[in-house]
Structure 1
């Protein structure tokens, strides 16, 4: 696992957790980011915006894969919109029209975005079952979900290789 982390090039310190900043759900509830959890299972946190075509492509792909990924790994996908005041009203209608099955929040004041050093989108973070950031990726190219799934599987499946003695 340490090799995976060391090679990921994390902008945040290794094992960092989500900061205590506020997000708004698409139905208007306020939630603190550091309280997001998945009962000891991983979370894929994905920053996006309604005007970002690669973001929409990635989230549409994740929407299709989500049922299988949930069954096999228990992962929860949380999409965090960085839409500003000009485009924020488009978030809920877009999410409902696409019938996304994952949680969607709006980072109204860009607090989470700044705290996590997200400069470009799409930007994805994978959190382990303890809420620690173990992987991240900036940008999206079709097929990237395969490498993400490989990381997710390594994270959720115990190492079955025989123990080695030094």
Structure 2
């Protein structure tokens, strides 16, 4: 009986450890310039980075990316953080992504996920959805939805990681 309890505790700790150390899945995407990108290789030279899932038709997504854009240069100067925006627009709307990015002056790396493979591999149901990845490639924060000012929470999480 005692060995069963020990085994259950060890199994529980292993499951908790695996859940806490989630890393990015391997999905092949293209950026808005047509370059192939492997998602499990995304990095920021050992510094944290943010992945924001959006679509051209998603108003809260666009508000969030615009709000971050206003402070992005300051964030980069202070923390070195990088933002990677991932469009989930379907193939027939993919040609709207680059004009949206350009017209808003977003200086993010932008990836295209027209089949939602990356989104699905991460178990994301709704957008906007934001992930923070630490400098070691571990997903350390996830957030769904956007309300004005929520970007302040993102930078606070990044600041905690670089302390």
Question: Partner residue of 2:107?
Answer: 101
Q: In proportion to residue count, which structure has more helix? A: 2
Question: C-alpha separation between the residues in 1 aligned to 2:68 and 2:28?
Answer: 24
Q: How far did residue 146 of structure 1 move?
A: 1.3
The answer to whether structure 1 residue 123 and structure 2 residue 129 are counterparts is: yes
Question: Partner residue of 1:18?
Answer: 24
Question: C-alpha separation between the residues in 1 aligned to 2:37 and 2:19?
Answer: 24
What is the Cα-based RMSD across aligned positions, in Å? 1.2
User: Which of the numbers 24, 48, 57 marks the counterpart of 1:51?
Assistant: 57
The number of residue pairs the alignment matches comes to 146
Q: How far did residue 133 of structure 1 move?
A: 0.2
The answer to whether structure 1 residue 33 and structure 2 residue 46 are counterparts is: no
| Deviations 1:93-149, CA, capped at 9 Å, x for gaps | 111111211100101221100000111000000000011100010000001111122
Q: How far did residue 67 of structure 1 move?
A: 0.5
| Deviations 1:48-104, CA, capped at 9 Å, x for gaps | 000000000000011111101111111110000000023211001111111211100
User: Which of the numbers 65, 71, 76 marks the counterpart of 1:65?
Assistant: 71
| Deviations 1:15-34, CA, capped at 9 Å, x for gaps | 21111101111011111001
Contact 2:54–2:128 (8 Å) recurs in 1? yes
Q: TM-score, normalised by structure 2?
A: 0.86
Question: C-alpha separation between the residues in 1 aligned to 2:101 and 2:90?
Answer: 16
Q: Pick the structure with greater CA Rg.
A: 2
SS of aligned partner of 1:79: strand
Question: Partner residue of 1:81?
Answer: 87
Question: Partner residue of 1:145?
Answer: 151
Unaligned runs of 5+ in 1: 1-11, 158-166
* Regions of 4+ moved over 6 Å: none
Question: C-alpha separation between the residues in 2 aligned to 1:148 and 1:98?
Answer: 20
